[in-house]
Amino acid sequence: MINNPKFLIGMLTLFLVSLVACNPSDESSAILDNQSEKNNSAQNTNDDASLVDNKDASSNGKTDKENDETDEKAETPSNNPDKENSASLKEVYLQKLNETKTEMDKLRDNPEDSSTYALKNVESERFDVWDEMLNEVYGILEEQLPANMMGQLRQEQRDWIENRDNTAKEASIKYAGGTMEQLEYVAVMNHLTEERTFELVREYMK
C-alpha cells in the first residue's frame, strides 16, 4: 500500500496543500505583528510630539507674557525729568509770573486798612517780590544767552533801571511833601518792575 504510487502522490499533495495553507497564515500574523509594532511606534512618536508641542506652547505662552509685560513697560511713561520738557522753561516762568501777579493783586486789593501807612507797606512788600522775581529771571538769562547777546541785555537793563527810577520819581513829584509821595513812587516802581519781568521772559527766555 505504501508502495502504491497513487497513495504517495496523494500524501505528498496533501502535505504540500497543508504547507501552503499554513505559510500565508504565518506571514499574515507576521504582517499584523509588524503593523501593530508600527502603530505603537507611531502612537509613541505622536505622544512624544504632543509633549514637545505642549512644552513649546507652554514656553511660548511664557515668552508672550514676558513680551506683553515688556511692551507694557515700554508704553508706560517714565518718571523722567525730561517729561517736564513738554513745557519749556519760558512757559513755566510765564505761569509762575501769572500766579505771582494774581497773589500780588490780591495783596494790593486787600490791605489791612485804608491808611497811607498800610498801603505803603503793601507796595513795599510787592516791590520786594517783583524785584526778587526780576533778579531770578535775569540770572537764568545769564546762563541761557550767548555772551554777545547777554552783553547787550546787560546794558539794556542798566538803561531800563535808570528809566524806571526816573519815571517813578516824576510820578511822585505831584505829591511832593505829602504822605502819598512815597506811596506813588513805590507803586510805579512795582508796576514797571512787573512789566519788565514779563518782558524779559517773553522776549529772551527759551
- In the numeric block, which cell numbers belong to residue 86? 513738554
Q: How far apart are the C-alpha atoms of 191 and 170, rounded to whole Å?
A: 14
Q: What is the DSSP letter of 177?
A: T
* Collapsed DSSP state (helix, strand, coil) of residue 70: helix
Each residue's pLDDT expressed in tens, for the chain with a length of 206 residues: 445 666 666 666 666 656 555 544 444 444 434 444 544 444 444 444 343 344 443 444 445 545 554 444 444 333 444 444 557 999 999 999 999 999 999 998 988 888 988 999 999 999 999 999 999 999 999 999 999 999 999 999 999 999 999 999 999 999 999 989 999 999 999 999 999 999 999 999 99
Q: At what angle do helices 180-204 and 147-173 cross, to 10 degrees?
A: 160
Q: How far apart are the C-alpha atoms of 156 and 34, rounded to whole Å?
A: 105
Q: How far apart are the C-alpha atoms of 101 and 44, rounded to whole Å?
A: 84
pTM: 0.58
* Residue pair 193/127 in contact by the 8 Å Cβ criterion: yes
Burial-class residue 137 by CB neighbours within 10 Å (0-12, 13-18, 19+): buried
- In the numeric block, which cell numbers belong to residue 172? 511822585
